Structure 1
Amino acid sequence: MQIIQIVAVSNNNVIGKDYGLLWTLPNDMRWFKNKTWALPVVMGRKTFKSLGNKPMNGRLNVVITRQADFKAEGVTVVANIEEAISFCKEQNYNEIMIIGGGEIYMQSLPFTDKIYLTRVDVTVDGDTYYPKLDTNQWLLAFEEKHPTDAKHTYAYNFQTWIRK
């Protein structure tokens, strides 16, 4: 089973602030939807909160939290990343998509085989960061550059990183 992270990151590795995204990139939203559709999406409780406390349609939603009494309709709640991975394996999925936030990305990185990273060409202030990738461990296997346009305020690159 492949464990894949999917994330949009600023030039300074910011991924969010105050439970929200810092940019609107319709093509990145479409990229995310296409990559995660019909797969389990694993997220932390704060990321789930940023989604309005509602599960994402068309996907098995797994929320990681240390809050033993946390419950939410339409999601499976687990205590840690290992339990999330184990649960998804039991459901016979071939891929698991890790969708955030910062702490969950950090905890799952040692288990991760591939990263779909959208590099947004902007430097912003934020309170949630993506870990810096060690290029001794990761190979950039794919990159597709996109300039700004009427619907995209910032230039961005779709990247696929594979563990060496």
Structure 2
Amino acid sequence: MITMIAAAAENRALGKDNQLVWHLPNDFKRFKNLTTDHHIIMGRKTFESFPKPLPNRTHIIITRQTSYQAEGCIVVGSIEEAIEKCPKNEDAFIIGGGEIYNLAMPFADKIELTVVHHLFEADAFFPEIKTEDWELINSDFQAKDDKHLYDYTFETYIKKQKTPQ
């Protein structure tokens, strides 16, 4: 199963200047729990925003730079090639950024989205989730607290099956 996993604000903002614009420790925990021991697919800029590769995950980096290398990572030139590198019988996660989410939307089976209940200025955005294509199957609201400046909701979507005409 191909799952897109992201945290996006109410205006679909993902981040600015290749950085998140909020800090939600519970979202980081959820991301780690869901993606550990799986393949994660990302764009080069997302990969370069990490201080080091994320532990216990196979990194697949999509870039147009044909000579790009990253130690211990798989480097590919397209979303199709990235998906092809993932084991067919295991879950794989698309982790960003905005351009990669747009490219991956037709291939995704599931979306794990953390909606941050605030509006942010951003330069990267999550694509619109069209209700005719996706079904919300779980929604778990979390109120802000001393470690979380904003309310947020964990949402899970699955792709609707197209009925033949």
Q: TM-score normalised to the size of structure 2? A: 0.95
**Which of 56, 59, 82 is the matching residue for 2:57?**
59
Letter aligned with residue 110 of structure 1: P
Letter aligned with residue 120 of structure 1: V
- Alignment partner, residue 19 of structure 2: 20
- Alignment partner, residue 81 of structure 1: 79
User: Aligned pairs, how many?
Assistant: 160
Q: Hey, what's the Cα distance between the residues in 1 that align with 2:53 and 2:77?
A: 18
- Deviation digits for residues 34-89 of structure 1 (CA, Å, limit 9, x no counterpart): 0001000100000001113x211100010000100111112110010000111113
Q: Any unmatched runs of 5+ in structure 2?
A: 161-165
Q: Hey, what's the Cα distance between the residues in 2 that align with 1:32 and 1:23?
A: 15
- Alignment partner, residue 132 of structure 1: 128
1:103-114 correspondence to structure 2 within 5 Å = 103-114=99-110
Q: Hey, what's the Cα distance between the residues in 2 that align with 1:56 and 1:74?
A: 11
- Alignment partner, residue 157 of structure 2: 161
Q: Secondary structure at the match of 1:88?
A: coil
Q: Hey, what's the Cα distance between the residues in 2 that align with 1:32 and 1:38?
A: 12
CA separation of 1:76 and 1:93: change in aligned 2, threshold 3 A: farther
- Contact 1:42-1:99 within 8 A present in 2 as well: yes
Off by >2 Å, runs of 4+ in structure 1: none
- Alignment partner, residue 36 of structure 1: 35
Q: Hey, what's the Cα distance between the residues in 2 that align with 1:128 and 1:19?
A: 8
Identity %: 45
Q: Hey, what's the Cα distance between the residues in 1 that align with 2:104 and 2:152?
A: 24
Q: Hey, what's the Cα distance between the residues in 2 that align with 1:77 and 1:118?
A: 27
Letter aligned with residue 79 of structure 1: G
- Compute the displacement of 1:93 (Å): 4.7
Q: Hey, what's the Cα distance between the residues in 2 that align with 1:60 and 1:71?
A: 15
Q: Any unmatched runs of 5+ in structure 1?
A: none
- Contact 1:9-1:118 within 8 A present in 2 as well: yes
Q: Hey, what's the Cα distance between the residues in 1 that align with 2:96 and 2:157?
A: 17
Q: Hey, what's the Cα distance between the residues in 1 that align with 2:40 and 2:137?
A: 23
CA separation of 1:108 and 1:69: change in aligned 2, threshold 3 A: same
- Compute the displacement of 1:124 (Å): 0.5
